[in-house]
Amino acid sequence: MGTMAVERRGSYRRYSAEFKREQIERILRGEVTAAELSRELGIARSQIQRWKHLLTAGGETAVASDEDVVPASELRVAFVV
């Protein structure tokens, strides 16, 4: 398992994109189920499912557009300048 790059903001934990991707790839490879990963990490199963949805949706978007997917935060910065 990769490093758990966690940033605390108040009572919330923020995980790095790399960490989320590594964990979802474990599900996609069949190493664990979403429920098992949820218990292992202490994260709600619905959050794990959201990460999975966003990862797979982003990949589908990139393939459909034949371009890189840009995070919304980078897109916002591009329009502010």
Distance, CA of 29 to CA of 35 (rounded, Å): 15
Q: Token pair for residue 6?
A: 């966690």
Please count the structural domains in the chain: 1
Per-residue pLDDT of the chain (81 residues), as tens digits, is 455 566 776 778 888 888 998 999 999 999 999 999 999 999 999 999 989 988 887 766 655 655 666 667 776 666 665
Asked whether residue 63 is domain-assigned, the answer is: yes
Asked whether residue 71 is domain-assigned, the answer is: yes
Distance, CA of 10 to CA of 69 (rounded, Å): 30
Distance, CA of 12 to CA of 7 (rounded, Å): 8
Please give the pLDDT value at position 68.
63
Asked whether residue 1 is domain-assigned, the answer is: no
Please give the pLDDT value at position 56.
83
Expressed as residue numbers, the domain containing 21 is 6-80
Distance, CA of 54 to CA of 10 (rounded, Å): 24
